[in-house]
């Protein structure tokens, strides 16, 4: 137990000062959202209290109705938001208010551009919560007491939002949090019952707890009245819910500022009874790729918030989905352990996943522009599902989008079904190329024969794509095949004349091939001629049973297949010239240069760049010498002609 203490002063974390400054400027035009954010926090605090009371019976139980209270005082020029939720201890205040303990904070600040409009959207994604009070207030006083602590353990936090805050221990008979906003000059329009009522009804009508205001808003007024509908949005009949209601509810559950891209609302009755209200956000949250990224679905049991999903309700590859799942069959005191082995949860999860995939399918079919946006934001996450969720693999595969050699831009605009529909006669495989960047993919020598034959190739360039292709061996009976691997099916694409020409080239160049093999030694597993090249002199491919090249790159860190094969283009003038090279040292230098070039076009690293440059310069010098000698000879010839 602690007695009231002297005020102590603390500094905000540097990022908070920066965030506050930015927020006040860029969100001012939308200043009324402060009330939505603070009511949302109050509602979360009450949800957390209800859950804590389920697990700790007797915790601060009283007869008082759980509610959020909003009032204003015209003379004092304040707005007060009070909740009787879980409250905070002194340590919790220090940890939560005045610091940002959020993953993605560093990335968020790096992403800021200085352009107010763009930054406002970013702030929206990041979430401003409590700090939005400073948009309208130049002093904020928060008084709180954690449920279960004694009246003497109340805490008062106060700040003008300029860099410091004061903290003191105070007597607070009631649990929960009271927030007093001392309004800035010029914000008096907010000291108006009708104005506050309109804001609450616009942004917070869906809050399932009662929001009450004194009848006239001001504190000398009479009875409190409930100003929102106060029933869980997802439990209302769909016919009574408009898009605006869904959008505001989404902003509350997802802590987002922007409207969602799509939603699904579905009541299931049968063996199990549950309601799903799920949303696809329009933009990816900052922590999407962080290991601790939060899942966005909140589990409720009979409308009481129970807990945030940690992977039981939505698989990892759908971690961007936000919303609520409300079950009528789980016990109110359900624990995480029970959830993990619950048939009810398994059933809900599998139907929720199917419904989300169906929602995405509908979006792709009916609103392709929206789907393209979804894919840009979340496509790489969805790809994880191909490896993660075997039972839905085919459905997920249909949702994938790729850039291909036939795409007009770098945008992934082609589905596997589109690809299959465009396959050439006789083609029985889906070809893909994995390269570290789109530019490297487009200029890869491995594509030359496919371009020549007009065969489309999927261009893959993301780290996840390695796993995608290994987890998706085929689609609609068509095998996925790397263009940088093997020779066998290239043969099937050749006509008789081409086959003959290829065989002839192989025999003609057999001497050269042996010499190159000898020069390169154990750098290569083999050297052979190929028909896959039209403009490049050589390339590297993986041995037939080898794993996908890029997978090897990850495993070895070099980007090279474990058994690289050098393929040379018999039609290329450089190769022809090499065949005539009499000097074994020069031939060896050429062979090494061709090899290193091929490693580079693969997007891999060459082992000894200095040696490569030296050999190349050596060859250039001999070429220059040859050219000079030719020129001198020509001069000499010319001179003698004149004589
Ligand atoms: N009324 C309240 N009662 C109890 N705790 C609160 C209250 N308001 C804020 N908090 C605590 O402070 C933390 C920070 O709040 P803040 O609004 O800044 O962020 P948030 O709600 O966690 O997320 P977001 O920034 O996305 O809104 C909350 O997570 C909560 O623990």
pLDDT at position 552: 47
Confidence of residue 642 (pLDDT cuts 50, 70, 90): very low
Q: Is the pLDDT of residue 554 over 50?
A: no
Q: Binding site residues for ATP, as ranges?
A: 37, 41, 83, 88, 96, 102-104, 125-130, 177, 336
Report how far ligand 1's centroid is from the alpha carbon of 77 (Å). Answer: 24
One-letter-per-residue 3-state SS of 172-202? CCCCEEEEEEEECCCCHHHCCHHHHHHHHHH
Residues 6+ away with beta carbon under 8 Å from 40? 129, 204, 207, 252, 255
Q: What is the pLDDT of residues 305-328, one digit of tens each?
A: 888 888 889 999 999 999 999 999
User: What number is the average pLDDT over the span 487-505?
Assistant: 69
41 within ligand 1 shell (Cβ under 6 A): yes
Mode of pairing for the β-strands spanning 8-11 and 164-170: antiparallel
109 within ligand 1 shell (Cβ under 6 A): no
Report how far ligand 1's centroid is from the alpha carbon of 96 (Å). Answer: 7
Q: Is the pLDDT of residue 278 over 80?
A: yes
What class does CATH assign to 496-631? mainly alpha
Mutate to test the pocket of ligand 1, among 39, 82, 89, 130 (most ligand atoms within 8 A of CB): 130
Q: Residue 86 CA: which ligand 1 atom is closest?
A: 4
Q: What is the pLDDT of residues 1-20, one digit of tens each?
A: 555 667 899 998 888 888 88
Q: Binding site residues, as ranges?
A: 37, 41, 83, 88, 96, 102-104, 125-130, 177, 336
Distance CA 50, CA 61 (A): 10
- For 136-158, give the DSSP string: HEEEEEEEEE-TTS-GGGEEEEE
255 within ligand 1 shell (Cβ under 6 A): yes
Residues of the chain with CATH 1.20.120.790: 496-631
Cβ(215)–Cβ(225) below 8 Å: yes
Residues of the chain with CATH 3.30.230.80: 235-364
Report how far ligand 1's centroid is from the alpha carbon of 76 (Å). Answer: 26
296 within ligand 1 shell (Cβ under 6 A): no
Q: What is the pLDDT of residues 70-84, one digit of tens each?
A: 999 999 999 999 999
Report how far ligand 1's centroid is from the alpha carbon of 340 (Å). Answer: 28
Name the residue at shortest CA distance from atom 26 of ligand 1: 127
Q: What is this model's ipTM? A: 0.97
129 within ligand 1 shell (Cβ under 6 A): yes
Name the residue at shortest CA distance from atom 31 of ligand 1: 96
pLDDT at position 263: 97
617, 608, 613, 598: which is closest to 549 by C-alpha?
A: 598
Higher pLDDT, 631 or 342: 342
177 within ligand 1 shell (Cβ under 6 A): yes
- Residue whose structure tokens are 């060896």: 588
Distance CA 207, CA 324 (A): 13
Q: What is the pLDDT of residues 363-386, one digit of tens each?
A: 999 999 999 999 999 999 999 999
Q: What is the pLDDT of residues 160-182, one digit of tens each?
A: 999 899 999 999 999 999 999 99
Higher pLDDT, 441 or 158: 158
Q: Is the pLDDT of residue 287 over 80?
A: no
Residues of the chain with CATH 3.30.565.10: 8-229
81 within ligand 1 shell (Cβ under 6 A): no
| pTM reported for the whole predicted model | 0.76
User: What number is the average pLDDT over the span 448-467?
Assistant: 87
Report helix, strand and coil shares of the chain as percent, to nearest 5: 45, 20, 35
Name the residue at shortest CA distance from atom 12 of ligand 1: 96
Taking the domain 235-364, which CATH number applies? 3.30.230.80
Q: Is the pLDDT of residue 535 over 80?
A: yes
Taking the domain 8-229, which CATH number applies? 3.30.565.10
């Amino acid at each position: 137990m602690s007695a009231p203490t002297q005020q102590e002063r603390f500094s905000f974390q540097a990022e908070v000062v920066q965030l506050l400054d930015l927020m006040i400027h860029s969100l001012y035009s939308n200043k009324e959202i402060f009330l939505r954010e603070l009511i949302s926090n109050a509602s979360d605090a009450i949800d957390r209290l209800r859950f804590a009371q389920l697990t700790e019976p007797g915790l601060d139980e009283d007869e008082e109705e759980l509610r959020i209270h909003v009032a204003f005082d015209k003379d004092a020029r304040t707005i007060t938001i009070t909740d009787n939720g879980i409250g905070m201890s002194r340590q919790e205040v220090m940890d939560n208010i005045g610091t940002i303990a959020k993953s993605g904070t560093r990335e968020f600040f790096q992403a800021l551009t200085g352009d107010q409009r763009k930054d406002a959207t970013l702030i929206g994604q990041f979430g401003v919560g409590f700090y939005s009070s400073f948009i309208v207030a130049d002093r904020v006083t928060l008084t709180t007491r954690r449920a279960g602590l004694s009246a003497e353990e109340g805490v008062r936090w106060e700040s003008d939002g300029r860099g410091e805050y004061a903290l003191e221990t105070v007597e607070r008979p009631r649990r929960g949090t009271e927030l007093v906003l001392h309004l800035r000059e010029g914000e008096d329009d907010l000291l108006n019952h009708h104005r506050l009522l309109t804001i609450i009804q616009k942004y917070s009508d869906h809050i399932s707890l009662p929001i009450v205001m004194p009848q006239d808003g001001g504190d000398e007024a009479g009875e409190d009245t409930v100003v929102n509908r106060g029933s869980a949005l997802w439990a209302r009949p769909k016919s009574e819910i408009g898009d605006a209601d869904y959008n505001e509810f989404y902003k509350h559950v997802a802590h987002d500022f922007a409207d969602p891209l799509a939603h699904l609302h579905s009541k299931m009755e049968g063996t199990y009874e549950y309601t799903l209200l799920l949303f696809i956000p329009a933009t990816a949250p900052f922590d999407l790729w962080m290991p601790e990224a939060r899942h966005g679905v909140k589990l409720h049991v009979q409308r009481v918030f129970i807990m945030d999903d940690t992977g039981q309700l939505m698989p990892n590859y759908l971690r961007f989905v936000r919303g609520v799942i409300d079950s009528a069959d789980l016990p109110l005191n359900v624990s995480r352990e029970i959830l993990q082995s619950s048939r009810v949860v398994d059933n809900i999860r599998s139907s929720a996943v199917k419904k989300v995939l169906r929602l995405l399918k509908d979006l792709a079919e009916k609103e392709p522009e929206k789907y393209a946006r979804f894919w840009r934001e979340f496509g790489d996450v969805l790809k994880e599902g191909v490896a993660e969720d075997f039972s839905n693999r085919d459905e997920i595969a249909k949702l994938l989008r790729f850039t291909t050699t036939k795409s007009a831009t770098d945008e992934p605009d082609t589905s596997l079904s589109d690809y299959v529909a465009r396959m050439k006669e006789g083609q029985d495989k889906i070809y893909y190329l994995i390269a570290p960047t789109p530019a490297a993919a487009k200029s890869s020598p491995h594509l030359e024969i496919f371009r020549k034959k007009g065969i489309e190739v999927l261009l893959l360039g993301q780290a996840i794509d390695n796993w995608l292709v290994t987890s998706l061996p085929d689609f609609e009976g068509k095998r996925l095949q790397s263009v940088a691997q093997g020779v066998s099916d290239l043969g099937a694409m050749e006509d008789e004349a081409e086959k003959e020409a290829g065989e002839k080239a192989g025999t003609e160049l057999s001497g050269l091939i042996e010499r190159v093999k000898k020069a390169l030694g154990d750098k290569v597993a083999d050297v052979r001629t190929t028909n896959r090249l039209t403009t490049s002199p050589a390339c590297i491919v993986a041995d037939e049973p080898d794993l996908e090249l890029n997978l090897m790159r990850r495993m070895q860190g070099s980007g090279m297949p474990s058994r690289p094969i050098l393929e040379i283009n018999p039609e290329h003038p450089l190769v022809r010239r090499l065949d005539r090279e009499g000097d074994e040292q020069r031939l060896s230098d050429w062979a090494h240069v061709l090899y290193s070039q091929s490693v580079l076009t693969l997007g891999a690293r060459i082992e000894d760049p200095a040696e490569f440059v030296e050999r190349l310069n050596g060859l250039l010098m001999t070429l220059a010498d040859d050219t000079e000698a030719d020129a001198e000879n020509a001069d000499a010839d010319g001179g003698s002609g004149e004589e």
